[in-house]
């Protein structure tokens, strides 16, 4: 578990990635930043992060497609994804089933809350539970 | 086609019925009188005949005795005289004495005598008979044998044969009887038809409205046929009427009906009136176009068959039959050549007093659906656009609040970011307000002297940080002195902001965005150039259309409301200026705002 503190942050809004990475680093995580889905997928394969925080709407490849690709690739299929999304945005159960998404966090969100969720996932030695997703998605 | 004249010929008038009845009555009187007369005459004649026969029998009995005596004395001449006298005086027709061989020895008419003298041998006389009008009496003459006295009663030939008058009366009576029989038959047949018709009228008064149910059996005669003809005429007229009035309009005159039909034809919506079996009774011009049929071909055709679509047919079926209130609405593409076109088909039963049926409306709602989709996309985009600055504001304010010991430089940087995001939010809200104002036609310019130098300073401050965050070089290349123009400051700021915001959005990291200023005698121009993706020739005008989003795959995931450029151009044009575009794909774009220096001509929106 040498990469257990690696976190990948993907969002096309620079102010958001700046603040999220700053707060995660303060909490002791190693943070990698991507500003589009294609870069994020590449970094996920290269750095094997413990958690990925991704925006839903991104250039070149959106968050949903990114999560599907992560799920499909054996190298990354175990990495849980926290999806930053618009409030009220619904993902269907079949959409969720094909992805690694474990948490839906609606914007605007609190950085403290996000760091808490990342900490929680890292503390969970098991593969984590996807029950959260149902709760948030519902 | 049956005409009223035809019906009149079929139905005899009342006067002929009266005449028929009179004739019948006369026949009854004639027959009764004739019968009475006949019975009386016969009874009387029988009595006379019987009386005369009795008298004759008494007389001839006495005569026979005298004759027997005279013949036994051979007084033949006396016998002959006696017969002549008695025949003349007694009112007898003929008297004669016949022998067994038919020979006549005496007769009231001497010319008929065959034996002048009495023969010696008298052959026996056969069986004697007497009948109506004649008598045969035996004469027994001792020593001679037997003979026969035959008496014919006078006048019997005329009295006993049927008289001419009697034959005439009988003939008339028989004729009258036959006429009466015929009349009876006619009257019976006629009244049977009338009875059936009165049954039908009773059914009608009890609520039977369907003309077909009121028809009677035509074997009941011409009245029945005429009645049925009248009913079918009624049906035909009704169908004609409803076809003309179309929407059941209660036109007072045919003029009003024509006006209504013309009005229906002028409708954009397809209007179809169907009967209770969904057969078309009326269709306006638009309906014929929507159903791709000639209107004449639609009349009488089944509507569901004309539409052809199974789902629509199923949806419309509840309209058939009953008079109960039914409404159906379905949205479908009914034109296979335009599968993007959406039609709304709505139907409603029209419970007429005398017939069921429905009115079906066909509307092309394609434009509405397109507008709905655009509006939904717009709302989704706008909420996303609003969410991003809100998220940034929350994140940076949260950080400042949680960490009071943040160093001054970072604090200032965060405050600037928050300020920039507040400005961004303002712009978005401003855009939305302007859009709604433009849509409502209430956008007005509030013009004043606008110092372009100050405007440019504000813009530079607003975009400095976003540019830096994306590592884009934002340059303002301006002359030392900028003019003052008469304009709506907020609207011009909105237009230029949208251009700079777009330039930053579509320029990759490390690129460059430059703002320049030019002017001539009566116009000023602001150029916003970038080293971004560029816009293809095909799309150079489309980007100014509302809600247009480039098909360029390179902008996938870059959010935009599709409102910025159309809005910017609209407000600049309200000032009497314009926005133009020069672009090369892969190299970048230059948007130019030109504004007149003088006061705008079209202040009033």
Region of residue B486 (left: phi > 0; alpha: psi -120 to 50; beta: else): beta
What's the DSSP call for residue B29? H
Chain A closest-CA separation from residue B499 CA (Å): 19
State both tokens at B32.
Answer: 């009764």
Is there a contact between A20 and B421 if contact means CB atoms under 8 Å apart?
A: no
Radius of gyration of chain B (CA): 64
| Edge-to-edge order in the sheet of strand A6-10 | A30-34, A6-10, A51-55, A81-86, A101-107
C-beta separation of B280 from B358 below 8 A:
no
Residue-wise pLDDT tens digits, B173-209: 787 788 788 877 777 766 777 888 888 888 888 877 7
Interface of A with B in 119-138 (CB under 8 A): none
Q: What is the assigned CATH class of domain B249-364?
A: alpha beta
**What number of helices (H) and strands (E) belong to chain B?**
16, 16
A16 touches chain B (CB under 8 A): yes
The residue among B567, B575, B499 whose CA lies nearest residue B535 is: B499
- Tell me where in chain B the CATH 3.30.450.20 domain(s) lie: 43-160, 249-364
Determine whether B228 is exposed, middle or buried from the number of CB atoms within 10 Å of its CB (0-12, 13-18, 19+): buried
Report the alpha-carbon distance of residue A51 to residue A121 in Å, rounded: 8
B401 touches chain A (CB under 8 A): no
- Scanning every residue of chain B, which has its alpha carbon at the shortest distance from the alpha carbon of A38? B557
Of A22, A62, A110, the CB nearest to B557: A62
Of A19, A86, A87, the CB nearest to B395: A19
H/E element, B387: helix B366-402
CA atoms within 13 A on the CB side of B407: 2
Is there a contact between B392 and A13 if contact means CB atoms under 8 Å apart?
A: yes
Which of A17, A108, A111, A115 to substitute to test the interface with B, most B CBs within 10 Å?
Answer: A108
- pLDDT score recorded for residue A118: 93
Chain A closest-CA separation from residue B312 CA (Å): 30
Q: What SS3 string covers B538-549?
A: HHCCHHHCCCCC
- Give DSSP secondary structure letters for B395-430: HHHHHHHH-TT--HHHHHHHHHHHHHHHHHHHHHHH
C-beta separation of B148 from B128 below 8 A:
yes
Helix (H, G, I), strand (E, B) or coil at B568: helix
C-beta separation of B559 from A13 below 8 A:
no
H/E element, A2: none
- pLDDT score recorded for residue B115: 82
Is there a contact between A59 and B390 if contact means CB atoms under 8 Å apart?
A: no
- pLDDT score recorded for residue B193: 78
Tell me how crowded residue B488 is: count the other CB atoms within 10 A of its CB: 21
Residue-wise pLDDT tens digits, B551-584: 666 665 565 666 788 888 888 988 889 999 998 8
Helix (H, G, I), strand (E, B) or coil at A88: coil
Is there a contact between A36 and B557 if contact means CB atoms under 8 Å apart?
A: yes
- Residue ranges for chain B with pLDDT beneath 70: 1-19, 90-91, 132, 154-166, 189-190, 240-254, 322-324, 334-339, 351-355, 546-562, 599-605
Is there a contact between B387 and A86 if contact means CB atoms under 8 Å apart?
A: yes
Which of B381, B390, B391, B397 to substitute to test the interface with A, most A CBs within 10 Å?
Answer: B391
Domain ranges of chain A: 6-137
Tell me how crowded residue B287 is: count the other CB atoms within 10 A of its CB: 26
Which CATH number among 3.40.1360.10, 3.40.50.800, 3.30.70.1520, 3.30.565.10 corresponds to the domain B380-596?
Answer: 3.30.565.10
Is there a contact between A16 and B392 if contact means CB atoms under 8 Å apart?
A: yes
Would you identify the CATH topology of the domain A6-137? Answer: Rossmann fold (3.40.50)
What's the DSSP call for residue B131? B
- pLDDT score recorded for residue B327: 81
Tell me how crowded residue B530 is: count the other CB atoms within 10 A of its CB: 27
Residue A101: C-alpha distances to residues A14, A79, A111, B409 (Å)? 23, 9, 19, 37
Report the alpha-carbon distance of residue B592 to residue B590 in Å, rounded: 6
* Beta carbons within 8 Å of A133's beta carbon, 6+ residues apart: A96, A101, A102, A103, A104
State both tokens at B384.
Answer: 């996303």
Chain B closest-CA separation from residue A47 CA (Å): 23
Report the alpha-carbon distance of residue A77 to residue A71 in Å, rounded: 4
Would you identify the CATH topology of the domain B43-160? Answer: Beta-Lactamase (3.30.450)
B42 touches chain A (CB under 8 A): no
The residue among B27, B34, B30 whose CA lies nearest residue B166 is: B34
H/E element, B111: none
Quote the longest CA-to-CA distance of chain B: 202
The residue among A128, A70, A76, A74 whose CA lies nearest residue A103 is: A128
Is there a contact between B396 and A19 if contact means CB atoms under 8 Å apart?
A: yes
Is there a contact between B392 and A37 if contact means CB atoms under 8 Å apart?
A: no
State both tokens at B126.
Answer: 């056969």
B148 touches chain A (CB under 8 A): no
Which of B388, B393, B558 to substitute to test the interface with A, most A CBs within 10 Å?
Answer: B388
State both tokens at B48.
Answer: 């006379």
Interface of B with A in 453-482 (CB under 8 A): 469-470
Angle between helices B452-469 and B489-505 (to 10 degrees): 30
Is there a contact between B398 and A59 if contact means CB atoms under 8 Å apart?
A: no
- Tell me where in chain B the CATH 3.30.565.10 domain(s) lie: 380-596
Q: Is the pTM of this model over 0.90?
A: no
State both tokens at B182.
Answer: 């015929």
A63 touches chain B (CB under 8 A): no
Report the alpha-carbon distance of residue A123 to residue B175 in Å, rounded: 129
Chain A closest-CA separation from residue B258 CA (Å): 55
Chain A closest-CA separation from residue B240 CA (Å): 58
- Give DSSP secondary structure letters for B580-603: EEEEETTTEEEEEEEEESSPPS--
- Residue ranges for chain A with pLDDT beneath 70: 1-3, 87-90, 125-138
């Amino acid at each position: 578990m040498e990469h257990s503190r690696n976190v990948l942050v993907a969002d096309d809004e620079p102010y958001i990635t700046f603040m999220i990475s700053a707060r995660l680093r303060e909490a002791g995580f190693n943070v990698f930043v991507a500003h589009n889905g294609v870069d994020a997928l590449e970094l996920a394969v290269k750095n094997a992060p413990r958690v990925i925080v991704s925006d839903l709407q991104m250039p070149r490849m959106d968050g949903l497609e990114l999560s599907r690709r992560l799920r499909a690739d054996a190298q990354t299929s175990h990495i849980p994804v926290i999806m930053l999304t618009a409030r009220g945005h619904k993902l269907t159960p079949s959409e969720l089933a094909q992805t690694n998404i474990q948490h839906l966090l609606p914007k605007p969100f609190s950085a403290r809350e996000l760091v808490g969720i990342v900490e929680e996932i890292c503390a969970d030695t098991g593969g984590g539970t996807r029950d959260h997703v149902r709760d948030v998605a519902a | 086609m049956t005409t009223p004249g035809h019906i009149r010929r079929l139905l005899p008038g009342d006067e002929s019925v009266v005449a028929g009845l009179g004739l019948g009555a006369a026949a009854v009187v004639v027959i009764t009188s004739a019968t009475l007369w006949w019975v009386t005459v016969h009874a009387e004649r029988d009595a006379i005949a019987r009386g005369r026969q009795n008298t004759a029998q008494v007389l001839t009995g006495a005569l026979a005795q005298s004759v027997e005596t005279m013949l036994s004395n051979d007084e033949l001449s006396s016998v002959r005289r006696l017969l002549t006298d008695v025949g003349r005086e007694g009112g007898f027709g003929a008297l004669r004495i016949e022998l067994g061989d038919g020979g006549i020895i005496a007769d009231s008419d001497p010319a008929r005598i065959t034996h002048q003298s009495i023969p010696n041998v008298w052959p026996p006389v056969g069986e004697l008979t007497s009948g109506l009008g004649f008598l045969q009496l035996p004469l027994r003459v001792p020593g001679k044998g037997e003979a026969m006295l035959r008496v014919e009663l006078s006048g019997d030939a005329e009295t006993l044969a049927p008289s001419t008058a009697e034959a005439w009366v009988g003939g008339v009576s028989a004729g009258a009887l036959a006429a009466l029989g015929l009349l009876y038959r006619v009257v019976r047949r006629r009244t049977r038809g009338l009875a059936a018709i009165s049954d039908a009228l009773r059914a009608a008064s009890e609520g039977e409205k369907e003309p077909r149910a009121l028809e009677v059996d035509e074997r009941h005669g011409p009245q029945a046929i005429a009645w049925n003809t009248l009913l079918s005429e009624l049906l035909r007229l009704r169908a004609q009427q409803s076809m003309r009035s179309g929407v059941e309009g209660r036109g007072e005159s045919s003029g009003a009906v024509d006006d209504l039909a013309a009005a229906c034809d002028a409708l954009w919506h397809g209007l179809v009136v169907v009967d209770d079996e969904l057969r078309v009774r009326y269709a306006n011009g638009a309906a014929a176009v929507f159903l791709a049929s000639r209107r004449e071909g639609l009349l009488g055709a089944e509507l569901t068959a004309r539409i052809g679509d199974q789902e629509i047919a199923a949806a419309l079926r509840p309209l058939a039959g009953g008079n109960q209130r039914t409404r159906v609405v379905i949205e479908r593409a009914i034109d296979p050549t335009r599968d993007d076109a959406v039609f709304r088909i709505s139907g409603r039963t029209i419970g007429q007093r005398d017939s069921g049926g429905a009115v079906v409306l066909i509307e092309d709602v394609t434009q509405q659906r397109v507008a709905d989709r655009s509006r939904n996309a717009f709302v989704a985009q706008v909420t996303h656009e609003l969410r991003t600055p809100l998220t940034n504001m929350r994140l940076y304010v949260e950080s400042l609040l949680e960490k009071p010991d943040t160093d001054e430089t970072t604090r200032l940087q965060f405050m600037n970011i928050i300020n920039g995001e507040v400005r961004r939010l303002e712009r978005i809200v401003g855009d939305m307000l302007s859009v709604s104002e433009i849509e409502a036609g209430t956008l007005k310019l509030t013009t004043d002297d606008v110092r372009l130098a100050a405007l440019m300073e504000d813009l530079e401050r607003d975009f400095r940080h976003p540019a830096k965050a994306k590592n884009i070089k934002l340059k303002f290349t301006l002359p030392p002195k900028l003019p003052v123009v008469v304009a709506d400051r907020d609207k011009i700021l909105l237009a230029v902001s949208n251009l700079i915001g777009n330039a930053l959005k579509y320029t990759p990291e490390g690129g460059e965005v430059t703002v320049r200023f030019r002017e001539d005698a009566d116009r000023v121009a602001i150029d916003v150039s970038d080293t971004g993706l560029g816009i293809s020739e095909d799309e150079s005008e489309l980007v100014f259309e509302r809600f247009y989003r480039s098909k360029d795959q390179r902008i996938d995931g870059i959010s935009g409301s599709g409102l910025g450029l159309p809005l910017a151009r609209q407000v600049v044009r309200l000032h009497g200026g314009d926005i133009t575009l020069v672009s090369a794909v892969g190299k970048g774009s230059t948007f130019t705002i030109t504004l007149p220096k003088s006061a705008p001509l079209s202040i009033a929106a």
